[in-house]
Amino acid sequence: MIPGSFEYIAPSSVDEALALLKENGESAKLLAGGHSLIPTMKLRLAEPEVIVDLNRIGALKGISESSGTLIIGALTTHYELETSDLAHRKIPLLAQTAAAIGDVQVRNKGTIGGSLAHADPAADWPAAILALDAEIKAVGQGGERSIKASDFFEDLYTTAIDPEEIITEIHVPIPGANTKGTYLKLPQIASGFALAGVAVILTQVENICQNLAVGVTGVSSVPYRAAGVESDLRGKAFSSDNIAAAAEKAVDGIDDVLEDIHASEAYRKNLAKVYTRRAIESAAS
Amino acid sequence: MSKKVINTKINGTNYTAEVEPRMLLIHFIRDVAGLTGSHIGCETSICGACTAIVDGMAVKTCAMLAIQADGAEINTIEGLAENGDLHPIQEGFWECHGLQCGFCTPGMIMAASQLLERNPNPTESEIRHGLEGNLCRCTGYQHIVNAVQYAAQKMQS
């Protein structure tokens, strides 16, 4: 399988890349890690006329800390996040989520910005990004803007990013004291994508739940925050019964639960509850 | 569509060729450089038979464009043996019967080389985790794990 013909340009700056997007409109596609786009092009499901390869733009890579926030360049690979000392020390959930993605070769090439922009409903990053209240920075002709994770995912493979915008950074607030997180998923055995994936961030003081954020991926066409679970458990003790009762609300208000050959709607709903319970138990232990 | 001249170094040898942007790296390795040890299996970036090391990273070369590898250093299965002596990983696959049909073996060995570079003394579960990106339809993996354990031991001694 070989992609259709296209022009290839590898700009060295974000400004150049933006100019190319403006010039070529929707016939251009941005290439990051390529592990979603290139297979899609080989199947001729995507036939862009121009490929703008972002991989030579150094400014889009790397992880740094600034005033209580980790700033992750959009082109930072899953492997870099999985092995980042800064991520491990400041937000271990990021490293844990990265390590759960695909396989070694995919993590070597795949990028956080590319994954978010692709918005596969079973991708791993959305769960963590939602639970951590991250913000996605994007730049376009009209300048830079910041999009909250909760406003970012709009539909299957559809985000709030305009066709002429580029994701530049992901800003993740570093959680405060007594806060722990975890990411658990049931992977589809062949692809590694999440049949249900749950990221939890919780603040625990003397076994009482002070705060809780639950991000769920793989279950609905749009990843979401399980608000019912969060409000149910807040202020209560992390007992098995309380956690189990709260986790029952993991699909409350979700009316577009996915169904495919790997998992029925009923099974996915059950998985969401089970993995929410296990993730909270694991983080609170 | 406009072609472009690219330069790569594969196993220490320079290869320069004019390529169409849509040429996949695996096709450059096999058809332009003539190194047919790297295999094309699934073509959907699942099976890992096309795995090579590009600038130090194990990559499924069917999911990368040749033009992206302009200036890159690439290592393939052909570059592992030195002066006719098998690399310890190749030796492990030989000694432990880590293959049956052998189709997945080049990619499996390149992924194993990345694994042992990052973790010279892996546990069995770390080996299985590290080779998740490579599928084998013959062995049931046990002998592949044995082969990597053999190599890890040999490379440390």
Q: CATH number of the domain at B133, please.
A: 1.10.150.120
User: Does A27 touch chain B if contact means CB atoms closer than 8 Å?
Assistant: no
**Has residue B137 been placed in a domain?**
yes
Please name the residues between 60 and 79 in chain A that touch chain B, using a CB distance below 8 Å: 79
pLDDT in tens, A217-269: 999 999 999 999 999 999 999 999 999 999 999 999 999 999 999 999 999 99
Number of folded domains that form chain B: 2
pLDDT in tens, A33-66: 999 999 999 999 999 999 999 999 999 999 999 9
Residue A11 burial (C-beta neighbours within 10 Å; 0-12, 13-18, 19+): middle
Domain interval for residue B20: 4-78
| Percent of chain A's residues with pLDDT above 70 | 100
Whether residue A105 and residue B48 make contact (CB cut-off 8 A), yes or no, is yes
User: Does B98 touch chain A if contact means CB atoms closer than 8 Å?
Assistant: no
> What pLDDT score was predicted for residue B106?
98
From first to last of the 157 residues of chain B, give the pLDDT tens digit.
689 999 999 999 999 999 999 999 999 999 999 999 999 999 888 999 999 999 999 999 999 999 999 999 999 999 999 999 999 999 999 999 999 999 999 999 999 999 999 999 999 999 999 999 999 999 999 999 999 999 999 999 8
For B132, the token pair is 């998740």
Q: Where are the domains of chain A?
A: 7-56, 59-173, 179-284
| Residue A161: pLDDT over 90 | yes
Count chain A–chain B contacts defined by CB atoms under 8 A: 86
Q: CA torsion sign, A29 to A32 to A33 to A36?
A: negative
Fold classified for A7-56: 3.30.43
- What integer is the mean pLDDT of A191-208? 96
CB-nearest to B63 from A34, A55, A192 is A34
* Arch. (CATH architecture) of A59-173: 2-Layer Sandwich (3.30)
For A179-284, CATH gives 3.30.390.50
From CA B56, how far away is CA B74, in angstroms rounded? 8
Single out the residue in B26, B49, B78 at which a domain terminates.
B78
Please report which helix (H) or strand (E) contains residue A274, including its range: helix A265-284
Tell me the pLDDT band of A191, cut-offs 50, 70 and 90: confident
User: Does B64 touch chain A if contact means CB atoms closer than 8 Å?
Assistant: yes
| Residue A189: pLDDT over 90 | no
Residues B92 and B150 in one domain: yes
> What pLDDT score was predicted for residue B45?
85
**Has residue B119 been placed in a domain?**
yes
Please report which helix (H) or strand (E) contains residue B148, including its range: helix B142-156
